[in-house]
Structure 1
């Protein structure tokens, strides 16, 4: 029983792979792997961005006259031919800052043409052929620039073509060839390796910086979500209190109000049932928010009535702080009450962590429909290192979220003397107008 071949002959596969690799190599040599942006274009300082242009301008201005002088004095090349060769071999150095591969395509054929021109001149005892000294030095700069900008495949191709050209010229006149072809081949490998190593290190640093930026953004988002969850847990108590009041009032209304119709009694019963259902939903939501098992947060949330205790505890901890609390703040909504306490708490904690020993002043006043919370600290009086040099950002993020939740404004920042200021304005409900009965009684 005969079997059909499983695939094409191996020779065809090798030829296809060779053709494909040759196409890739040709594409790498004919197309730069980077946009024509200058080297160090992303540097932060202007002199750093201009330095590549200064270097390539100095290289071109140096090698053009040096090449002309060497060709005319050492190799007896006519001045016009020497000038043309010098322009082809050194002028493209101006392109190294942004198009090194294109500069190589001009310099490399010009160097080969120069080697062929030198064959027509009488050989001197100290002449170096096929690559004169200016060509060797300038070509090293070209290879270094290619290593800094191009891919590994392109770098290897350039190196192999350089070695192949040197080998062919050596075979053309072995007696005149005195080792410069091998020298360029070996030094070129060193320059290409150095350039590639620097390029890959720069790419690794860039990728690391991008990853750090992404990680910082994710950390900030996580901090924001944690603070919002924490605020939601605290506000649960406030909302649950109001829902409980609604339930009690709806249940007791038929007993407190005489003469209610059956429709009204059913309406109060429906209101109480809806309130109980809402409370159950809130408890289930709270169990999700407290999935980390923080049972201690079920305690009633503190408010402005405990700010005095908070400041006294801070003073006992070693922070000189004073409190100015208005005697009559008026009606403060529960959400604003909790938020104001937490803002003072976070501000004092930040002072303890980042400016231990600094004199701190806490002021809470009410007026113009707003509750103003102000925490100002001076620079630390003693030269002590802070307890924390870096923070998670939870404090300021939590303050902003609380202020945004209540519809207020927050202003934070350093002071000219080195201290820090936290100022929050939280809205208060408008004052109730006196009723007509109260007005008549007063009159």
Structure 2
């Protein structure tokens, strides 16, 4: 007969996978227990008030000051432990609470080891009848205080490992001497789990709120940056028309110079032709730049860019919108001699300020003043009173966005900065608002 070869029994694959996952889980918990999460930062170290930052140290000191002498006295008097041993155990079980403020996981290792050793010492001691074992009430109080310091600082795996180790220590004592063990291990196991779960939940909620605040801050900064870039792009598109007009004038003058100036030398004719060609090339490049700056779907503006010569129409349109506005335009102001960028910026500032009055201070009396001074500056002032009626509008002042006219104060600041001027805005004591812009009447340089 042929001898049949016995096959080695194979373990089912689900069981193998389960054992592998269990081993990896135990290993990860062990790594978490051996690797503190924090970097020595104290509990509540980020609190705004100094007394809150010092509070954990004060609480830990109170626990140590109370528990240490009581623990030593109880070990000596109630359990018959040698004085030196009682002092060493009491110190190891309580003093690390001070370390737990900054390094809770390291403090837990010291206290947990001291509690296990203390349970074994009490097992061979001569206690008074009826004394709890394996841990005294002071050990339970100190351990629960340690859980409160541990929960907000360490990872969930480390906290789960601490909870399992606490239960394992209690189970070990129950197996060693089931006749002496009482309900303290179960109480400690349950209460430590509750405290760890509660503090970890509060920690998670605090971290979520902190991340939300950080994200909102980042979003607000990005929103402000995007608004600023959009406004700069819009201003650049408007100024394109101004520059294109000047380049067109240069081209026409250079092309017509040979016909307007008799007996023009040939080198001069060639120079004018070169100037005209350069101006045309520059104008073509400006058109390409405008195509880059224009947003998708945006159509080019066909109307010429406005200036202060149209501010009277702007004020009249504001009056028709229900705002009693009046204009004071200096008679000696040479509107035709204004730099194009200053002329356009002054008009847009008045336009935005009046639009904000209509939106946020309906019916408010408004004054617009445009005049030059002896120092060569153009002063634009728009002042409105409180809203008519109940005195409350939709806002306390101009907003940062408009309906096609820019982004409120952001656009005003950029326009004034572009011309080398200054802007002053702010609420007034009577509930109104003031916008004051100061720009040079001549081009800088």
TM-score (norm 2): 0.84
C-alpha displacement at 1:17, in angstroms? 9.1
1:371-410 map, 5 Å:
371-380=378-387, 382-386=390-394, 391-392=399-400, 394-410=407-423
Which position in structure 1 is the counterpart of 2:253? 249
2:193 corresponds to which residue? 189
Are 1:299 and 2:306 counterparts? no
- The structure-2 alpha-carbon separation of the partners of 1:145 and 1:320, relative to structure 1 and needing over 3 Å to count, comes to farther
Change (3 A) 1:113 1:383: farther
- Among 272, 280, 289, the residue aligned to 1:268: 272
Contact 2:353 2:398 in 1 (8 A): no
Aligned with 1:149: secondary structure? Answer: coil
> Which residues of structure 2 form unaligned runs of 5+?
1-12, 402-406
Match of 2:165 among 161, 167, 175: 161
* Aligned counterpart for 1:211 among listed residues 212, 215, 239: 215
| Distance across 2 between alignment mates of 1:420 and 1:53 | 51
Whether the 8 Å contact between 1:369 and 1:430 is mirrored in structure 2 is: no
SS across alignment from 2:152: helix
Helix, strand or coil for the counterpart of 1:97? coil
- Structure 1 residue 386, shift from structure 2 partner: 0.9
Specify the alignment match of 1:142 in structure 2.
146
Contact 1:356 1:386 in 2 (8 A): no
Instruction: List gaps (5 residues or longer) in structure 1.
Output: 1-9, 432-443
TM-score normalized by structure 1?
Answer: 0.84
Whether the 8 Å contact between 1:89 and 1:135 is mirrored in structure 2 is yes
Contact 1:353 1:388 in 2 (8 A): no
Equivalent residue, structure 2, for 1:332 = 338
Structure 1's 350 and 44: CA in aligned 2 closer, same or farther, altered over 3 A? farther
1:229 matched to which residue of 2? 233
Once superposed, what is the RMSD of the aligned Cα atoms? 3.2
Q: CA deviation at 1:228?
A: 0.9
What does 1:39-50 align with in structure 2 at a 5 Å threshold?
Answer: 39-50=43-54
| SS of the residue 2:48 aligns to | coil
Tell me, yes or no, if structure 1 residue 349 matches structure 2 residue 355.
yes
The match for 1:198 among 184, 202, 205 is 202
Give, in whole Å, the separation in 2 of the partners of 1:267 and 1:294. Answer: 39
Cα pair distance change 1:107/1:354, threshold 3 Å:
farther
**Poorly superposed stretches of 4+, deviation over 6 Å:** 12-23
2:66 is equivalent to residue 59 of structure 1 = no
- Distance apart, 1:36 and its partner CA: 1.0
CA-CA distance at 1:159 after TM superposition = 1.8
- For residues 34 and 342 of structure 1, do their structure 2 counterparts lie closer, same or farther at Cα, with a shift above 3 Å needed? same
Whether the aligned pair in 2 keeps the contact of 1:39 and 1:52 (CA below 8 Å) is yes
| Residues 123, 176 of structure 1: 8 Å contact kept | no
**1:258 alignment counterpart:** 262
Following superposition, the deviation at residue 335 of structure 1 comes to 0.6
